[in-house]
């Protein structure tokens, strides 16, 4: 440590290797590194996983089952025994106080050591999780602190703060690191280093939310005092953690606010409203737009009118009518003599969008094009020419639209379907196909608003939170593989009523062949054995586009009644007469994928069904996913459950979104704090002219330190 070090370099004291800490030597260091801790700072932000109450001892008859408890007792009996059921040797100590008794058991032990430690009459403090197996309660492998006969209990409570008389932290451990050692290390750590942690939140924000200075927050979160409540601590709602979470989110949002400001500084196209095509379309529609559709359309119009480029995320559950909103936006651009590009994640989806857009644009006398991967050279050349000279108003395609060689006359709007397959880089490519065109990204993955604003930091978010009227709920049922005939019955029932069905097989990268085979064989079986009286189609990723198109068209027209497919239908397919979907090996799909798939049914006026058939054996996580599917149709709840099961790191590719790692905060659990921090960060960026004022200097330095290179990388363009 540098004596007389200024506050700015003071923080650098935290960026040193952990073995500078007393008590951390060459033997301990690797154990801490296993926990991902390398520097003093890492360790300071490695928070306890929970807390243990050692302020007073409970009476034995007051101990709560399934809870970590601390109590004082006297050994009444001590010795080896054999369990009645498994005939295993165990060591058992019976401990009592004036209120009752409890049994302590060891399954792995050194007998002489236990015998010596727990003679009858020995007083000790015991710590462990209480279990109830029968009338008598048990603790397996408890911790203990012996009490010498001359020790006074009250004195003991105040004698050693590492052991008693307070709320103690419980840390996550690794092999060879005990809880006792961990407590000692972190106690030492905050004694020596917490004071170097600096508070980087602007004072006015700190006051407004009554945030603790970082030093104090770190001290308290590791070593809580009487001002903190045990329940709050264990729920993660205490002031100390709250302050650290706020700090983390504030800097996360600060970076996002800066990126957004950068986007807004660019010049884009200010569209005007001509209503030349939008009003006629409105008149042609067989239904009225939902209120939610009208609201988001208003938001999109507002952006399109503004001179800055639009960067908007349109989020709506499957079937909520995003495509229609996108169509309206497209017409606004076309009214302004600009072209529109629609980018879809797969060929099938591109085709589907092409059909939808073309059916409306044809009626308005506008030209739609489809750019396909396997077009003939001649057809492709002619299409590219039409795009380049502006003859085509709206072009649909996969990523192929973004390739070199595709030149637009005047690209005014890019519509991107299904964000989670589409990275920041692709959006940037699209942007450079024109002079800062507006960009509208559509996603069906519903995620909490603040979360999506954070994940897609540089995008504004519009949410369609309402389905068109008249949708019937989808009944989801889980069948054991051996009970699949029940699912077949349901399918037959629907087919006989003139409806259509999907049967879906998962596609796993490594074994694409065998899955393909599974789908092919299944299609055979269905044709010859199970549904010989219906027309069955097969769709998989290895088919040629023309073949796929043919099958899809036949299905759309109702000529094929049962479509057996690998996951190519995952997104966007829209056949309202399909009322039942059976998903094979449903355990292999992720939650949002299942939700997407299920959204292919329930699109018409009829009641629909989703039948889940998991593999014979599947994991607990898969079980949880399947149950969520059965329980709810609410995309919002599904997204939350998904986040909960998978954890936020994996969700939607946080890394792809270019965000810094979160050490303390939890994007899902701490959403309220995230909202507040977001508001304050955006206001602060405004107020300080994008951190250009003198007081904002330390904030800016800290921002750069935390975001590193990501600040530029994440920015679009």
The residues binding ligand ADP (CB under 6 A) are 287, 289-290, 293, 316, 318-324, 444, 468, 574, 603
273's contact among Mg ion, ligand ADP, none, with CB below 5 to 8 A by partner kind, is none
Torsion angle in degrees (nearest 10) through CA of 571, 575, 578, 579: 70
113 binds, among ligand ADP, Mg ion, none (CB under 5 to 8 A by kind): none
- To Mg ion, the closest distance from the beta carbon of 434 in angstroms equals 24
CB 62 within 8 A of CB 42: no
Residue 599 CB, shortest distance to ligand ADP, in Å, is 7
Distance separating the N- and C-terminal Cα atoms of the chain: 42
Q: Name the minimum Å distance from CB 473 to ligand ADP.
A: 16
Q: Which is nearer to Mg ion, 255 or 319 (CB)?
A: 319
Q: Nearer Cβ to ligand ADP, position 54 or 322? A: 322
Nearest to 209 by CA among 260, 169, 236, 249: 249
Give the closest residue to 433 by CA, choosing from 339, 311, 314: 339
Contact string 315-334 vs Mg ion (x = CB under 5 A): --------x-----------
For 118, what's the count of Cα atoms within 13 Å in the CB-facing half-sphere? 29
CB of 540 to ligand ADP, least distance (A): 23
499 binds, among Mg ion, ligand ADP, none (CB under 5 to 8 A by kind): none
Residue 201 or 439 having the CB closest to ligand ADP: 439
290 binds, among Mg ion, ligand ADP, none (CB under 5 to 8 A by kind): ligand ADP
Shortest distance in whole angstroms from residue 349 CB to Mg ion = 8
| Residue 324 touches which of Mg ion, ligand ADP, none (Cβ within 5-8 Å per kind) | ligand ADP
* Separation CA 616–CA 628 (nearest Å): 19
Check residue 414 for interaction with Mg ion (CB under 5 A).
no
**Residue 346 interaction partner, one of ligand ADP, Mg ion, none, beta carbon < 5-8 Å per kind:** none
Q: Find the shortest distance in angstroms from Cβ 288 to ligand ADP.
A: 6
Binder of residue 320, out of ligand ADP, Mg ion, none (CB less than 5 to 8 A by kind): ligand ADP
182: nearest Cα among 212, 223, 149, 214: 223
Residues with Cβ within 8 Å of residue 679, at least 6 apart in sequence: none
Whole-number minimum distance, CB 315 to Mg ion, in Å? 12
Q: Is 202 in the site for Mg ion (CB under 5 A)?
A: no
Shortest distance (Å) from residue 469 CB to ligand ADP: 7
Residue nearer to ligand ADP on the CB measure, 290 or 654: 290
**Please, which residue, 316 or 448, has the CB nearer to ligand ADP?**
316
Least separation in angstroms between residue 289's CB and ligand ADP is: 5
| Least CB distance to ligand ADP at residue 352 (A) | 9
β-pairing verdict for 50-53 and 167-170: antiparallel
CB of residue 323 to ligand ADP, shortest distance in Å: 3
CA-based nearest residue to 553, from 537, 570, 533: 537
Nearer to Mg ion, 330 or 538 (CB): 330
Stretch that binds Mg ion, among 86-94, 366-374, 539-547, 571-579 (CB under 5 A): 571-579
Residue number with CB closer to ligand ADP (605 or 704): 605
CB of 545 to Mg ion, least distance (A): 20
Residue number, 262 or 468, with CB nearest to ligand ADP = 468
From the list Mg ion, ligand ADP, none, partner contacted by residue 457 (C-beta under 5 to 8 A by kind): none
Which residues on adjacent β-strands are paired with residue 93? Answer: 78, 104
Count, residues near Mg ion per rule CB under 5 A: 2
Tell me whether residue 603 or residue 678 sits nearer to ligand ADP (CB atom): 603
Q: Rank residues 122 and 356 by Cβ distance to ligand ADP and give the closer one.
A: 356
Residue of 462, 156, 184, 143 lying closest to 320 (CA atoms): 462
- 13 or 320, CB closer to ligand ADP? 320
Per-residue burial over 290-317, b = 16 or more CB atoms within 10 Å of its CB, e = otherwise = bebbebbbebbbebbeeebbbbbbbbbb
Q: Shortest Cβ distance from residue 295 to Mg ion (Å)? A: 18
572 interacts with Mg ion by CB under 5 A: yes
Burial class of residue 594 in the structure, from the number of CB atoms within 10 Å of its CB (0-12 exposed, 13-18 middle, 19+ buried): buried
Six-digit token string for 290: 């939902």
Please check whether residue 67 is in contact with residue 231, taking contact to mean a CB–CB distance below 8 angstroms.
Answer: no
Q: Which is nearer to ligand ADP, 167 or 394 (CB)?
A: 394
CA proximity to 89, closest of 116, 67, 104, 111: 111
The secondary structure of 608-620 as a DSSP string is EEEEEE--SS--H
Start-end of H helices in 502-606 = 512-525, 545-556, 591-598
Q: Using DSSP bridges, classify how beta strands 68-82 and 89-96 pair: parallel, antiparallel or unpaired.
A: antiparallel
Q: Are 105 and 91 in contact (CB under 8 A)?
A: yes
H-helix segments, 389-511:
424-431, 449-455, 484-496
Pairwise CA distance, residues 342 & 619, whole Å: 39
Helical spans, DSSP H, in 266-308 = 278-284, 291-305
Choose between 236 and 468: whose C-beta lies nearer to ligand ADP: 468
CA separation for the pair 487, 132 (Å, rounded): 42
Buried b (16+ CB within 10 A) or exposed e, 678-699: bebbbebbeebebbeeeebebb
Half-sphere exposure (CA, 13 Å, Cβ side) for 109?
A: 24
**Could you tell me the smallest distance in angstroms from the CB atom of residue 527 to Mg ion?**
30
Nearest distance from C-beta of residue 476 to ligand ADP, angstroms: 18
218 vs 581 by CB, closer to ligand ADP: 581
x/- string (CB under 5 A) for Mg ion, residues 611-630?
Answer: --------------------
Query: What's the DSSP call for residue 590?
Result: -
Whole-number Cα distances in Å, 543 to 347, 348, 516, 582: 11, 11, 11, 22
Characterise 410 by phi-psi region: left (phi > 0), alpha (psi -120 to 50), beta (else): beta
Taking the least distance from each CB to ligand ADP, the nearer of 31 and 595 is 595
Per CB under 5 A, residues contacting Mg ion are: 323, 572
């Amino acid at each position: 440590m540098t004596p007389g070090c200024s506050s700015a370099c003071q923080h650098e004291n935290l960026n040193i290797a952990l073995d500078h800490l007393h008590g951390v030597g060459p033997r301990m260091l690797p154990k801490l590194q296993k926990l991902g801790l390398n520097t003093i700072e890492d360790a300071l932000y490695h928070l306890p996983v929970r807390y243990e109450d050692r302020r007073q001892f409970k009476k034995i008859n007051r101990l709560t089952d399934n809870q970590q408890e601390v109590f004082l007792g006297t050994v009444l009996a001590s010795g080896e025994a054999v369990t009645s059921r498994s005939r295993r040797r165990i060591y058992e100590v019976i401990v009592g106080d004036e209120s009752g008794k409890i049994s302590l058991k060891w399954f792995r032990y050194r007998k002489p050591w236990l015998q010596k430690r727990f003679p009858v009459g020995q007083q000790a403090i015991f710590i462990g999780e209480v279990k109830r197996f029968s009338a008598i309660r048990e603790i397996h492998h408890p911790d203990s602190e012996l009490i010498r006969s001359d020790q006074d209990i009250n004195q003991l409570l105040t004698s050693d703060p590492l052991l008693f008389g307070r709320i103690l932290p419980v840390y996550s451990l690794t092999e060879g690191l005990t809880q006792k050692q961990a407590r000692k290390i972190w106690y030492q750590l905050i004694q020596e280093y917490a004071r170097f942690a600096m508070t980087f939140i602007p004072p006015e924000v700190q006051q407004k939310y009554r945030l603790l200075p970082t030093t104090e927050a770190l001290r308290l979160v590791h070593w809580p005092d009487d001002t903190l409540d045990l329940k709050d601590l264990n729920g993660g709602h205490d002031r100390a953690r709250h302050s650290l979470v706020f700090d983390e989110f504030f800097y996360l949002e600060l970076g996002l606010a800066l990126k957004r400001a950068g986007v807004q500084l660019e010049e884009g196209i200010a569209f005007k409203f001509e209503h030349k095509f939008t009003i006629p379309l409105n008149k042609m529609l067989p239904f009225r737009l939902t209120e939610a559709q009208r609201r988001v359309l208003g938001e999109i119009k507002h952006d399109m009118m503004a001179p800055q480029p639009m960067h908007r995320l349109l989020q709506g559950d499957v079937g909520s009518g995003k495509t229609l909103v996108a169509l309206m936006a497209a017409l606004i651009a076309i009214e302004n003599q600009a072209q529109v590009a629609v980018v879809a994640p797969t060929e099938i989806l591109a085709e589907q969008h092409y059909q939808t857009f073309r059916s409306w644009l044809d009626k308005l006398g506008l030209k739609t094009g489809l750019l396909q991967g396997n077009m003939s050279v001649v057809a492709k050349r002619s299409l590219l020419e039409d795009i380049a000279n502006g003859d085509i108003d709206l072009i649909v395609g996969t990523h192929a639209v973004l390739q070199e060689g595709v030149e637009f006359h005047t690209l005014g709007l890019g519509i991107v379907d299904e964000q989670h397959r589409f990275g920041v880089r692709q959006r940037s490519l699209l942007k450079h196909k024109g002079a800062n065109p507006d960009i509208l990204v559509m996603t069906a993955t519903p995620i909490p608003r603040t979360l999506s604003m954070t994940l897609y930091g540089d995008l504004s978010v519009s949410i369609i939170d309402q389905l068109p009227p008249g949708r019937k709920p989808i009944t989801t049922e889980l069948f054991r593989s051996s009970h699949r005939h029940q699912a077949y019955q349901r399918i037959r029932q629907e087919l006989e009523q003139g409806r259509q069905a999907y049967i879906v097989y998962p596609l796993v990268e490594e074994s694409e062949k065998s899955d393909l085979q599974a789908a092919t064989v299944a299609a055979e079986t269905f044709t010859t054995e199970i549904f010989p009286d219906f027309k069955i189609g097969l769709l998989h990723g290895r088919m040629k586009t023309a073949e796929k198109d043919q099958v899809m068209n036949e299905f759309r027209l109702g000529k094929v009644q049962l479509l057996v497919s690998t996951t190519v239908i995952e997104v966007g397919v829209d056949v309202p007469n399909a009322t039942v979907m059976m998903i094979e090996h449903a355990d292999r799909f992720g939650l949002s994928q299942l939700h997407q798939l299920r959204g292919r049914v329930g699109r018409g006026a009829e009641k629909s069904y989703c039948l889940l058939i998991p593999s014979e054996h599947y994991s607990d996580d898969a079980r949880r996913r399947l149950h969520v599917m059965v329980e709810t149709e609410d995309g919002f709840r599904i997204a939350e459950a998904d986040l909960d099961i998978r954890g936020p790191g994996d969700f939607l590719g946080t890394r792809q979104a270019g965000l810094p790692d979160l050490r303390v905060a939890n994007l899902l659990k701490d959403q309220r704090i995230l909202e507040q921090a977001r508001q304050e960060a955006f206001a602060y960026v405004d107020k300080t002219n994008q951190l250009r004022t003198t007081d904002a200097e330390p904030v800016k330095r800290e921002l750069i330190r935390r975001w590193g290179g990501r600040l530029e990388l994440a920015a679009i363009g």
